[in-house]
Structure 1
C-alpha cells in the first residue's frame, strides 16, 4: 500500500482543518488545470520505473514480523517499509527503455535482491516475491502486525471512522472465505509490483486508456495469489482482497452507488485532469494534512507548485492504473512530470517473470496508445472491467471479450493477437531484439503452457496434499519449493510440480 507523501505530523484533524483541506485540494486542482494548459512538463526522454513489494518469512516459511531489523541490516535507501511488519518494498531506480537496458536492469535487480537476501538471512529472515504470502494466517495479523508509522495508523483509523463498523471480507472461489476484520491488516497481505511510465500531458489519456484495456490480459498472464488464510480462492485473490480490505463504505453507501477507494474506474478519459477531478469530486479525504504552500503564488512566481494536498489525496485512492503528478529537482529547479502507475500485477515469481511482465506491458502500451482507431473506441469500458475481474478470478482459464475476436481465452488472445503487438511496441521503443526475444519468449511460454504463478502454486499444494500433508504443511512446503525456484530465476512456466 503505497501512500504518496512524507510521514504525517498528526493523526487527528478538526472539522475546520478538514474544511480548509477541501478548499486547498480544490485550489490545487485549479492550479493543475492551468499547468496542463501552460507549463512545460518533462517527457522528452521518458523514464520507466518499478517498485516490488516483498514478504519476509522465517526459517519455517512463516511470516517474519521484523522488517525494521531487516531494513537496518540491508541499509539501502532503495528498500523501504510497507504496511505490514512482514513487508518491505524495493524501489528500482528509473531508467529508459531503449537498447539492452532491460537486460542490465534484470542483472541489477537480481544482484540487489540477492544482497538484500544475504543481509536479511543474518536476521533469520528470507525475502519472498509473491502476490499473497500463502502461510499467512489470521493469528499473524493480531498484535503487532503493522509497521511503525504514523501514516499507516492514521490511514487505518480514517478508514474505520468512515465506515463506522468492522470490514467484512467475503471472497468466493473453490473454498469461500468469510470473516470480519477490525483493522486494515488483511490489506497488508497484498504485495504487488508497480510499473511507472512518464508521459506527456497530450499522451496521458491514450496511455491510461490503453493500460485499462490490457489490465485483463496482463492479470491473466501474471496471476500469483491463489491462497489467503489457508483458503484456495481466486487466481489473483489480491485484487478482491485489496478492494474489500480498504473499503470505507458500509452496505448502504455501496447500494447508493458510492465508489470504492480501490477502483478500476468507470469511463474512458480524454485528459489526466478527468481522473484528478473525479478523485476530488467522489472521494472524501482520509489524511487531510495541510502544507504551507500557496500553489497560486508559486505558479505566478514561475516556480513549480508541489500541489501537496492534491497528491496526498490521490495517494489514498487506489486506482489499478493511477495518475501521478510528481516533481524532480534538476539543477535546483523543480521539473514537473506525469506518470501512469500500473498497479495491476502481483510481485514474483522470479525477476525474469517480472521483467517479462514489464516488457509485455510497455510494448502493448506503446502499440495501443498510438493506433489510429484506438481499441477503446471499439470496446465498452464495462467490457474492459469485466475482463479484469474474470482474469483475477480465473487467471489463464478466464474468458475475455476482445474486439474482432469476440469471446476468447487468454492463451488464444496472447498468441494470436497480443504478442505481435507487444513486439511491435518494444520495437518502437527501440528495444534490442535480444531483449524482445528473451522476455516475450517467457510470455509465449506462459500462454502455451497455461502455467502462471497461481497455477503452479495450486498444482503444487494439491500434489503435496495428495502425499498426505495437511493444508498448512502443504502451503509451507510449497512456499519452500517456490523460494528455491525463485532463486534459480527460471521462469515459472518451466517449474516442475512435486510428484
Structure 2
C-alpha cells in the first residue's frame, strides 16, 4: 500500500484531512496524465502470487513472519493471515520471451520460500483455497501481527458498527457463517498479473480486460471448497466479496457499494475516472497522510507520489484495478486480480498468457463490441464463470444482431484462443512461446479438467471410502505431489 501504517484507530480530523488530500491527489493525477509523454514506453508485465503455509498433515501453519525472517529475498512478503505469504515477481518487458523469464522468477521465488519454510517445519501449498482449512484456523489469532492488518480489520468493524460479517455461499453444499474480523480474506490466495499500458490506451485495454476475465476465469478455476463444503468452482469470488464487506445494515437510503467489485460501468476515458470513482464511492478506511503535498510537488516540477490515493485504491478491491506507479518517470498499469493461485507454474503462466493475450487482442475491437454488451451482462458473466466454471454459459457481444448471444464457456474460449495469440504476438511475444502456453489451455479444454474439476473428482473418489475431512487431507497430499511434478493439471491422474 506504500505508506507505513503504525496505528489502528483514527480520529475524525484524520479522516477529514485524508479526504482533502485525496481531492488534491485527483487534481494532481489529472495534471500528470495530461503531461505529454507521461507513462509512454514499452509494455511490461509483472505478477504477484499468494500461497499457504501448511504443516506435515496439510493443515495451515501460522508461521509467516518466522519464515520471512529466514530469507533476505526482497520478493517475499507476508499477507493478511499468519499462514499466508506472497511473492512479488520483478517486472519484465512483454516483448520477446516474457513468460520464460517469468517462469524462472516463479520457480526461483517458490524454491526460496520452500527453503525458508522448511526451517520452520512448513510446506508451501499453491491453490486458490486450501481444502483442509478449518474454522479453528481462522479468527483474530490468525491475523498477521502487523499494524496495517489490525487497522484494516478495526476499520471494517467500525464501518459496520461492530455488526458481524455474514457469509452465505451456495453450491453443491451450502455455507453460512457469521464472522467478526477480516481473517476470512486469508482463505483466498490469488495470482495477480500487472500490465503496463500507455495512458492513451488505458480505457480500451481496461475494458478488454473486463470482457476477457469471465471466459479466462471459467477455464482457470481452482477453488471449489471452503471449510469442508463443495461450493463454487472459484469460491474465492463469492468469499472475498463478503469477507471484507464494510457496509453492514443500511443506515441510509443512499446506495452503498461493496469494496470488492467488478466495477460500475465500462471505462470511458482512462485511469483518472477509475481513481475518482474509488474516491467518490468508498469512504477511507486507513486515513494515513504521507509527507508530500501532491500539488506542491507538482508545482515544483516533480512527479507526485500520490501516496494517499494509492493507499485508498489499495482498500478498494476491484477485480481489475487501475494502478499509478510513481517509480522512475512514472506509469499506469492494469492489475488483473481475478485468477486463483495454482495448480502449477505452467498452469499459471498459461492462464496469464490467455488473459493478457485477450486483453491485448480484444482492445482494438472495443468500439465495435461494447455497444452489444451492457456492463451488467459482463458482470453477470464474471459471477457465472466463478460459480460454474467450464459449465458456464456466457453472454458475448457480436458485431451483428442479436447481441449479446449466449455461448458455452468452453466454446467461447476455444474461439478466443486465436485472438489471444494475435494479441501476444502483435505485442512482440515470440510466437513459439505464445503457442506453447495457449496449447495448455487448448488441452485443458479437450480434457475438461481445470484445477477445480480435478479437485472435485478427486474428492468424490476419496470420499467414497473415508470421511470428508480425511478425504480433503488426502486430496491435498495428492495435489501437492502432482503440483511438484510440474505437469499441468489436465495431465494429472485421478489416483
TM normalised by structure 1 equals 0.95
Within 2, Cα distance between the matches of 1:201 and 1:127?
A: 38
Residue 445 (structure 2) aligns with: 447
Q: Secondary structure at the match of 1:99?
A: coil
Q: Secondary structure at the match of 1:9?
A: coil
Runs of 4+ off more than 6 Å: none
Residue 332 (structure 1) aligns with: none
- Aligned equivalent of 1:117, options 114, 136, 146: 114
Q: Does 1:345 align with 2:339?
A: yes
Residue 210 (structure 1) aligns with: 208
Conservation of the 8 A alpha-carbon contact between 2:3 and 2:288:
no
Q: Secondary structure at the match of 1:457?
A: helix
Conservation of the 8 A alpha-carbon contact between 1:74 and 1:120:
no
Residue 152 (structure 1) aligns with: 149
Deviation string 1:244-294 (CA, Å, 9 cap, x unpaired) is 010011232698531100011121112211111111111100000112211
- Aligned equivalent of 1:240, options 220, 238, 251: 238
Within 2, Cα distance between the matches of 1:160 and 1:492?
A: 39
Residue 201 (structure 1) aligns with: 199
Residue 67 (structure 1) aligns with: 64
C-alpha deviation, 1:11, in angstroms: 2.1
Residue 29 (structure 1) aligns with: 26
Which structure 1 residue ranges, 5 or more long, are not aligned?
330-334
Residue 316 (structure 1) aligns with: 315
Conservation of the 8 A alpha-carbon contact between 2:90 and 2:105:
no
Residue 471 (structure 1) aligns with: 468
Q: Does 1:41 align with 2:35?
A: no
Within 2, Cα distance between the matches of 1:254 and 1:89?
A: 38
Residue 53 (structure 2) aligns with: 56
C-alpha deviation, 1:371, in angstroms: 2.5
Q: Secondary structure at the match of 2:53?
A: strand
Superposition map of 1:226-375 within 5 A: 226-252=224-250, 256-270=254-268, 271-329=270-328, 335-371=329-365, 373-375=367-369
Q: Secondary structure at the match of 2:91?
A: strand
Within 2, Cα distance between the matches of 1:95 and 1:303?
A: 26
Within 2, Cα distance between the matches of 1:439 and 1:254?
A: 50
- Aligned equivalent of 1:173, options 171, 174, 198: 171
Query: Greater CA deviation, 255-264 or 277-286?
Result: 255-264
Within 1, Cα distance between the matches of 2:144 and 2:389?
A: 31
Deviation string 1:388-439 (CA, Å, 9 cap, x unpaired) is 0001101111111112371111111111x21010011111012112211210
Query: Greater CA deviation, 169-178 or 253-262?
Result: 253-262
TM normalised by structure 2 equals 0.96
Within 2, Cα distance between the matches of 1:442 and 1:126?
A: 27
Conservation of the 8 A alpha-carbon contact between 1:410 and 1:447:
no
Query: Greater CA deviation, 366-375 or 151-160?
Result: 366-375
Residue 130 (structure 2) aligns with: 133
C-alpha deviation, 1:328, in angstroms: 1.3
Q: Does 1:407 align with 2:401?
A: no
Within 1, Cα distance between the matches of 2:435 and 2:8?
A: 50
Which structure 2 residue ranges, 5 or more long, are not aligned?
399-403
Q: Secondary structure at the match of 2:334?
A: strand
Deviation string 1:295-328 (CA, Å, 9 cap, x unpaired) is 1111111101111111111110000000001111
Aligned length: 488
Q: Does 1:379 align with 2:378?
A: no
Query: Greater CA deviation, 80-89 or 373-382?
Result: 373-382
Within 2, Cα distance between the matches of 1:362 and 1:319?
A: 17
Q: Secondary structure at the match of 1:273?
A: helix
Residue 492 (structure 1) aligns with: 489
Q: Secondary structure at the match of 2:167?
A: strand
Within 2, Cα distance between the matches of 1:408 and 1:254?
A: 40
Deviation string 1:83-122 (CA, Å, 9 cap, x unpaired) is 0100000111000122223123213321331232133123
Query: Greater CA deviation, 223-232 or 121-130?
Result: 121-130
Within 2, Cα distance between the matches of 1:253 and 1:237?
A: 29
The two structures, once aligned, show a CA RMSD in angstroms of 1.5
1:235–1:199 CA distance, 2 compared to 1 (3 A)? same
Within 2, Cα distance between the matches of 1:304 and 1:238?
A: 37
Q: Secondary structure at the match of 2:241?
A: helix
Deviation string 1:351-399 (CA, Å, 9 cap, x unpaired) is 0000001111111111111237442232111111111000110111111
